[in-house]
Amino acid sequence: YSVQEVINEAQILSGVTIPVVEEPRGDGGFGYDPVFLPASSNLTFAEMSGDHKDSISHRGIALARLQDDLARGRLDLELLEDQR
């Protein structure tokens, strides 16, 4: 496979977390975590454990979709391995 073929096969997996901006709460996380309150929670990201944050964050949602696609055989990893 050529690099162009790999690029043509690229898939985009995304995730969305709807926030509410809150007064700063919590000491964990980084950046905006103390003021980022997901609409589905009563805790800011800074108040959550890492595992909890990962399960509802936009990155965590995208990674869960990637894991699902890998488990269902929807991604051709051999195509990527050939480019190493």
Which pLDDT does position 38 carry in this prediction? 92
How confident is the chain (84 residues) per 10-residue block, as mean pLDDT?
Answer: 55 81 93 93 95 90 85 69 52
84 within some domain: no
Report field, pTM of the whole predicted structure over 0.95: no
Q: Retrieve residue 35's tokens.
A: 């003021």
Domain housing 73: 3-79
44 within some domain: yes
48 within some domain: yes
Which pLDDT does position 1 carry in this prediction? 46
Helix, strand, or coil (residue 20): strand
For the chain, the domain total comes to 1
CATH number of the domain to which 63 belongs = 3.90.950.10
